[in-house]
Amino acid sequence: MKKSLLIVCVCFIFACNQKNEKTSMTDTPTPPKAAIKPTELEKHGDVRVDNYYWLNERENPEVIAYLEKENEYYEKMTEHTKEFRKDLYEEMKGRIKEDDSSVPYFYNGYYYITRYEKGKDYPIYSRKKGSLDAKEEIMFDCNEMAKGHSYFKLNGINVSEDNQWAAFGVDTVSRRQYTIQVKNLMTGEIKPAKIENTTGGSTWAGDNKTLFYTRKDPVTLRSEKIYKHKLGEDVAKDELVYHEKDDTFSTFVYKEKSKKYLVIGSQSTLTSEFRILDASKPDGEFKIFQPRVRGLEYGISHYDDKFYVLTNKDEATNFKLMQTPESNTGKDNWVEVIPHRKDVLLEDIDIFKDYLVISERSNGLNKIRIRPSEGEEYYLPFESETYTAYTSSNPDFDTDVLRYSYQSMITPSSVIDFNMKTREKTVMKEQEILGGKFDKNNYEEERVWATAEDGTKVPISMVYRKGMEKDGENPLLLYAYGSYGASMDPYFSSVRLSLLDRGFIYAIAHIRGGEDLGRDWYEDGKLLKKKNTFTDFVDCSKFVIAEGYTSPKHLYAEGGSAGGLLMGAVVNMAPELYNGVIAQVPFVDVVTTMLDDSIPLTTGEYDEWGNPNEKEYYDYMKSYSPYDNVKVQEYPNMLVTTGLHDSQVQYWEPAKWVAKLRVMKTDNNLLFLDTNMEAGHGGASGRFEALKEVAKEYAFLLDLEGIKK
């Protein structure tokens, strides 16, 4: 009897489970599972088993099918937010002035303007001769050029000195492989010659018929060769001018602002080298400015009969400014102009006929310093406690006017013309926020300092609606990048208002690995100190929780590319701190990628991450690589995005990561992989298409907060 009852009970439970499974399958889509196909990867006697290595087969129909299943799962699971996403898109689009145009800048007899027309996604590039009242000459209408393409990007417009020819590059795949052509601006004719697989950038010699450009390695996409093309000749006859054979370097070509010299640059993360040639003699030989020395970084700017050299020579960690005669450019001839300062990072210079403009960074903030050829030097005054200011387009050499841009987290971006002689400031344009609802006085911005586990103070910039209370109930989105010495300056975003107006705090953690607090800040977050980047972010997260800005059930994190690596690391280290995480095009399979020198960017990254062919770096990378460290534990809700044609972070990294997370994670939290099947690292092209991707991200966050409209 007992045995019969047990059988009945077991059958009843099984039937209930079957019923529940059917109900579940009806109500909640089942997440896709990628096939497990173990691949053994051995290095330094260490064997890693990668169950999803096969996902790197871009042309494999099974791979495409898996990505499409993940997309279908994402769409089904977020179907209830579809209308909300549309509303968010329209809301964000509604703040943007559609028929907008840039502030014209004057160069070589023409005013150049970039403008947009209502309802159109792409810019129109035009110019006016001599006066803004002159007839507009449309150089490129990207809306027409983009027709028939799901992705379109115009890059590197470069006008010859006689104002007749414009070279330009086009990418219709989103893999940053541009085709260069030349347009006759007088007749509108586009020359039939097509120069494939370039960076898109180019520069004209002084003869107005010789064009220098950079070609990429077709496999690794490394910028490795400089060619020159003679107008009207067959591209096949283009002459190789320089080949950068060191695969840790990339090369590029440009013309000095003074127009006197053509320059070929070669650069790795830690080392620079330049070659110069009289621009009026394009068939001459380029001369090395200063031969490369491991660890010596420098940049050059020509003025009169001298070159200014921005360099870290003599252990000038935060860089110093030197000068040298154009006839003797080796480092032994460099003379100091501005010395190295331990607490000030020298970032850039702009040279004018009568002024030297120096861009600096101290205490994490931008400073612009004006040094006249006669009279006392001074700084531009900035009053906010957290802001971004930088010099803008200043192609004119003989002028008293400096153009710069200014913004803060509550102040829309402004373009300002500053007369360096009279010190008068003219706001040429302030970004318009349409819709009639934006008032900067409704928001507050502040900069706070978190303490990292090693005692280092880490700044956080944040913005929120006035009236915010530190009760731990505020949703907070914490963003960071933290690699390559890229500083994440506090900036204004009209798009971000859709979060702020729904109660979110938005914060940027200025973690190590960036250059926000100087060069040492970068050095302290790379190579064998990379983990400082991750622990800084975790400590910033703990700080905003401890201070009552938010709590773990309302804290969200976001980062892209190398910032996506950051996201992958912190969810392995401290998943309990976050309710949700957005990882955009994340670099998460660090060890495998850095061991594959056929992948774009790998060899040039050794100075950033280390070379895993050396065991010390291999072991260290493996200890933090997000994909290698996925473990059996709970993870936050996660939205992971990628692009099938991404040239920077290959799509298979996030795809493999999500596949592994699906098997390992022990929670029922959301996990989505959204692959743009027609785009690359930068996402969709066109100013409005990109907003649709932001709307997806915001809907993900707001839905987790229970905010439906």
Does the annotation mark 681 as catalytic? yes
Does the annotation mark 121 as catalytic? no
From residue 284, give the alpha-carbon distance in Å to each of 209, 277, 287, 337, 594: 15, 7, 9, 31, 39
Neighbours of 71 (CB within 10 A): 17
Q: How far apart are CA 111 and CA 11, in angstroms?
A: 82
**Strand, coil or helix: what is 382?**
coil
Q: 646, 674, 685, 703: which one is catalytic? A: 646
CB proximity list for 354: less than 8 A, separation 6 or greater: 372, 373, 374, 400, 420
Q: How far apart are CA 67 and CA 85, in angstroms?
A: 22
Encode 494-521 in three state secondary structure.
CCCHHHHCCCCEEEEECCECECCCCHHH
- Amino acid identity, position 199: T
First-residue to last-residue Cα distance in the chain: 58
From residue 207, give the alpha-carbon distance in Å to each of 118, 193, 237, 642, 679: 39, 19, 19, 44, 38
Q: 126, 561, 625, 685: which one is catalytic? A: 561
Q: How far apart are CA 639 and CA 696, in angstroms?
A: 9
Does the annotation mark 126 as catalytic? no
Q: How far apart are CA 418 and CA 420, in angstroms?
A: 6
Q: How far apart are CA 218 and CA 665, in angstroms?
A: 38
Q: How far apart are CA 579 and CA 557, in angstroms?
A: 9
Q: 126, 681, 685, 703: which one is catalytic? A: 681
Q: How far apart are CA 309 and CA 604, in angstroms?
A: 24
Q: Give me 87's structure tokens.
A: 């509303």
From residue 339, give the alpha-carbon distance in Å to each of 325, 533, 551, 594: 18, 29, 46, 37
CB proximity list for 700: less than 8 A, separation 6 or greater: 78, 81, 580, 582, 637, 639, 672
Residues acting as catalytic residues: 561, 646, 681
